[in-house]
Amino acid sequence: MTTVDGLAHGLAVALQPSVLIYSLLGAVLGTLVGVLPGIGAMAAITLLLPITYYISSEAALVMLAAVYYGAQYGGAVASILLRLPGTPQSAVTTLDGYPMAQQGRAGVALFTAMISSFAGSMLGIVILVLLAGWLSGLATSFGAADYAAMMVMGLVAASTIGEGRLAKSLAMVVLGVILGCVGTDVNSGAQRFTFGQVQLIDGINLVALAMGLFGLAEIIGNIRKAERDGPPARVSLRELVPTRDDLRRMVAPITRGTALGGFFGALPGTGSTISSFLSYALERRVARQPERFGKGAIEGVAGPEAANNSASITAFVPTLTLGIPGDPIMALMLGALVIHGIQPGPMMLEANPDMFWGLVVSFGIGNLFLLVLNLPLIGIWVSMLRIPFRWLYPAIIIFVCLGVYSVRGSTFDIVMVAAIGAIGYALTQAAFSPALLLLGFVLGPLIETNLRRALLVSRGDPMIFLERPIACGFVIATFALLIYGFVKRSDQGSQASSVAD
Amino acid sequence: MICCQTRRGAAVAAFLTGCALSSAAMAQDWPAGPVHVFVGFPAGSSPDTIARIVAEPLAEALGQPVVVENRPGAGGVIAVQQMLARGDDSFGININGPLTTAQRLIPDLGYDPVADIAPVGLIATSPLVLAVGADFPADDLAGFIEAAAEPEAISYGSVGEGSGAHLTAELFANAAGVQLFHIPFQSYAEVTTSILGGEIDSGFMAPSAALPQVEAGTMKMLGVTSAEPFAQVPDVPVIAGTAGLPENFRAELWNAFIAPAGTDPAVIERLNAELNTILADEEVRERLLAMGWQAQPGTPDDLAQRIRDDTALWGGVIDTVQAAE
Amino acid sequence: MRRDLYDLGWGAALAVTGFTVAGYAWASYDMGSLRRMGPGFFPVTLGLLLAGLGALIAIPAMSRPGRFRPFAWPETITVVTALLVFGLALDRLGILLTTALTVLIASSVAPRGGLGWRLVLSAAVTALVWVVFLRGLNMSLPVWPGAPR
């Protein structure tokens, strides 16, 4: 079956009324659930899983995929309006999306996120269709050494996104990696820094960390400030829509973000996190005025949103073509397929072409639904900001608690949020970047396990990092970044200090 | 435990009822409200799917909702703790780990798998298969053992230190008199990727994880750890008795229905009977098998025996592993 | 301010944290070898790295003027207390009472908030939680004190 035949066939599958209805249902539910802080795709999919036993396998998977995208977009809404990210990807979106909302440009920020997500997904589908074969080889050609080197490069590249001194940025990354060490060590089974708490055996809850560092820290700082500033001025419909200049600024970041996401998404694991951080770092680096970033630069929303959506499309490549799920959500979807007697794997394209191509087309349709559904909603979301903060924040606190609780039904995690929130506020006060801490937390354990695994594979020979071409490439890139960073920093540093004085 | 105090009224009523009626009659009235089943893994995982396959007909039989509570964490241990903490009408569907090896691997377990748990019944078992890449030089078990003659020449991936995959591989290595090189991973998906990429040589894997790769010709299965050929992969030879390995070689993972110790024996009996009826259903058996699990009806005593046997078996393997370190 | 007290304080705190982590990991976990790294290797290295970075933050801050940024103590304490109460009360009081109580505590630092307003708010949020989480999402939560979930 050629690609064109496949797509035509897929279109026939995806346009069945029942499939369309479930796709729409998934998109609506995903968005609504995703907006609730901390309750992301995982919770929404769990909620819907029982239904999937009773509907056709195509409809089931299409619905779950739509929930997945919907929740991702919903998460961006909460991040932009209230600085409440539930995932590391949406944490990147807060960096410039939230300042935009603070400046009364919430509508534009939401519009940007929506359009970039849509473009990222659609271009991601094109990448998927054209390069599925090549991308599926990517997963197996990456070994432990390559992953370790790639993630170190990711950390180094991203540590430039913090404002101010490099030492402060690096300290946050290292602190994040240390927090990531809490829990069972994969390689030895030893329990580190758990202090006898069984609740800590699986480590610190990611949602609790993200909510505490961003959401709670923001609430604490904002209670008095919001009252002083008053609610944002009422905006007219025209101001919700980006200007021509905004649109022009979005094009290049979306293109670059999509490419990054498309590549990294095909690697099982953290493709989506690493690509959104890298996209942000890249936009900042190529920008003519990098100092605008962190203060509401539209490129800082467009690039990462395109990247993580394109990554979540290509993340289906290893899941469907190798039967290797990259993250818990993909594993869930794989489970849904298996329940229907479909075994994803290298044979899937031959054995179940309906399923494969139907899914590809449905991704597109699901994203179209999302766009149509959400553009009119932007106005409603923005008007939410007009609710005085003193009415809003107690409710947010409750929603954060329940969002964190929903992850694994643990009240211990709520207590953790309290502590992390206080620390997060103090860190923000002292101009440390919580986003870098989060990135370190996510990538740290992966770096450690892959580094140690690589040395096991090579039986203790560190040359493995230079002998494998992919790893070697990343090692060289990392050093290049470091040298470039220091040169540029000292250059800027001398300028900045002369200006500051 | 404030929750217990506030439930005192209900508890007193239940006590009085219990005095008036015989225990067996009470089990007929039981349950009065929803029954909670604590599962140690997230929604969509195989223990969760097994729990849901069982919960649906169970709810019908009991005439009360059966709520599956996912409490993932610490390899199923958190769910056992939460079941014990919640008390009345809480049960668990869990894997072998928290009941057989957890007390050796987690220092502050918070419960005693024998004293604090009342077995209800085994649900299903799954063997592991020894899988290698398609270009591995040997095609059978004897060839594999020969290739592994030199210590640590052959590496294998597991899903973590102390996991079933790790302990099974060590059990196998002991029985075969070879030394394999252990590289821990976090999931069968990672092990598969690594075997396909040629980073590691082999792994003891869930049959359903290896099967698609075998069908695509990218992997080979050399042996299965069950006592008899496994229905999902009928052509794979059993390891027991092959290539000079002992006849009694057997390593299986399982899922079981458990209750807190002190649960009314009549309730356990009722649950066990319902469970066995469910597991006798052909459709249920097929759904389990499609996921790589063999339904295993039995008595609570069978499960207790299984827990004892496996605790001793894996305890011995853990001793050898720890002695080697 | 003559010194940047924020960076000074945080640099010192991070350095102490780093040394503590490294020391604890060194004492508690096996370092292993290059071939089979132990669980202690990473934390010890990271702890020392953090200590070094802490020093790099603190030392330049000694001779650099800093800007005073007010720290919202009452808000911090109140929000943390509210969360702790939520976490500790949920299993005992059930979600509805816990929500009402948490909102009452959290709203105590709200500007222009009288007791009447706070009671209205807490009733409204409790109703919202009931609609969204219990009715809408059908989340498994203890509803009333001691009630089965």
pLDDT at A113 over 90: yes
Residue B170 to chain A, least CA–CA distance (Å): 15
pLDDT at position B10 is: 43
Cβ neighbours, 10 Å, residue B283: 9
pLDDT of residue A250: 92
Shortest Cα–Cα distance, A463 to chain C (Å): 12
Select the residue of C36, C53, C110 nearest A167 (Cβ to Cβ): C53
**Could you state, in order of their start, the residue ranges of all structural domains in chain B?**
34-125+252-319, 129-250
Task: Report the distance separating Cα A458 and Cα C32, nearest Å.
Answer: 16
Q: Hey, which residues 191-210 in chain A have their CB within 8 Å of chain B?
A: 191, 196-199, 201-202
Cβ–Cβ of A332/B44 closer than 8 Å? yes
ipTM of the complex: 0.92
Which one of C14, C83, C109 has the shortest CB-CB distance to A414?
C83
pLDDT number for residue A110: 92
| Mean pLDDT value of segment A168-196 | 89
Question: What pLDDT is attached to residue A473?
Answer: 95
Contact between chains at B199 and A143 (C-beta distance less than 8 A): yes
- In this prediction, residue A496 carries a pLDDT of 47
Residues of C in contact with A429 (CB under 8 A): 6, 69, 71
Decide which of A407 and B191 is more confident. B191
Best C3, C30, C33, C46 residue to mutate vs chain A (most A CBs within 10 Å): C46
With an 8 Å Cβ cutoff, are C139 and A181 in contact? no
A463 has a chain C CB within 8 A of its CB: no
Please provide the DSSP assignment of B268-312 as one string.
HHHHHHHHHHHHH-HHHHHHHHHTT-EE----HHHHHHHHHHHHH
pLDDT < 50 regions, chain B: 1-22
Given an 8 Å threshold on Cβ–Cβ distance, is A325 in contact with B189? yes
C-alpha B75/C-alpha A495 separation (Å) is: 54
Q: For residue B38, which of B87, B98, B103, B90 has the smallest C-alpha distance?
A: B90
pLDDT for A155-166, tens place per residue? Answer: 888 886 666 678
Nearest residue to A439 via CA among A253, A64, A246, A170: A170
Contacts of B88 in chain C (CB under 8 A): 148
Contact criterion met (CB < 8 Å) for C42 and A219: no
**Residues forming a β-bridge with B203:** B131, B157
Residues on chain C touching B7 (C-beta within 8 angstroms): 146
Q: Which residues of C touch A216 (CB under 8 A)?
A: 79, 83
Which CATH architecture is the domain B34-125+252-319 placed in?
3-Layer(aba) Sandwich (3.40)
Q: Do residue B34 and residue C145 have CB atoms under 8 angstroms apart?
A: no
Quick check: A233 contacting C, CB < 8 Å? Answer: no
| B179 three-state secondary structure | coil
The span from the CA of A242 to the CA of C3, in Å, is 44
Among candidates B46, B69, B193 on the partner chain, residue whose Cβ is nearest the Cβ of A409: B69
Q: Which residues of B touch C140 (CB under 8 A)?
A: 67, 69
- Chain B residues 6-25 with a CB less than 8 Å from chain C: 6-7
Domains B34-125+252-319 and B129-250 share a fold: yes
Yes or no, beta carbons of B6 and C146 under 8 Å apart: yes
Kindly state the helix (H) or strand (E) to which residue B260 belongs, with its residue range: strand B252-260
Q: Count of CB atoms within 10 A of residue B87's CB?
A: 16
Q: Which of A130-144, A408-422, B205-219 shows the lowest per-residue confidence on average (mean pLDDT)?
A: A130-144
**CA distance from start to end of chain A:** 68
Give the nearest partner residue to C76 out of A178, A422, A459, using CB atoms: A422
What ranges make up the beta strands (E) of A311-424? none
pLDDT at C145: 81
For residue B212, give the nearest of A336, A350, A49 by alpha carbon. Answer: A350
Interface test with B, best of A61, A184, A206, A350 (most B CBs within 10 A): A184
CATH of domain B129-250: 3.40.190.10
Residues of A within 8 A of C56 (CB-CB) are: 167
Query: Which residue of C lies nearest to A172 if distances are taken between CA atoms?
Result: C50
Look at A114-118, A315-319, B132-136, B237-241 and tell me which has the smallest mean pLDDT. Answer: A315-319
Q: Answer yes or no: is pLDDT of A235 > 70.
A: no
pLDDT band at A490 (very low <50, low <70, confident <90, very high): low
B: neighbours with 3+ CB pairs under 8 Å?
A, C
| Residues in A touching B160 (Cβ below 8 Å) | 184, 186, 189
For position A447, what pLDDT does the model report? 92
My answer on whether omega of the bond before B31 falls inside 30° of 0, hence cis, is yes
Mean pLDDT, residues A385-403 taken together: 88
